Amino acid sequence: MNEITWDILDPNDMCVAIMRGGKTVLNISVHEIIESCSRNKLLQHVDECDRTPWLTRWQNEKHEALTELLKKDYAQ
């Protein structure tokens, strides 16, 4: 089967792997995608993700980031 699929193999890597027949044929940098998009639309999507409880990994990372900000603020 030569089906074309995509996956994010490592969320920390920020790359989208395009695969054909299970083999990676192209990696696309999410950094490049973000820089090529509308900043306003990107921030609207981030806000939507922040309000979406079923994105549990995203929510956990958001809460960790907020906790770190609060720790830094109180440490000063």
How far, in Å, CA of 74 to CA of 40, rounded? 31
| Per-residue pLDDT reduced to its tens digit, 54-70 | 989 899 999 999 999 88
What is the domain partition of the chain in residue ranges? 1-36, 39-76
| Per-residue pLDDT reduced to its tens digit, 23-52 | 999 999 999 999 999 999 999 999 999 999
What's the pLDDT band for 11 if we cut at 50, 70, 90? Answer: confident
Residue 34: its pLDDT value, please? Answer: 94
Identify the helix (H) or strand (E) that includes residue 47: helix 39-50
Residue 19: its pLDDT value, please? Answer: 95
Compute the average pLDDT of residues 5-33.
93
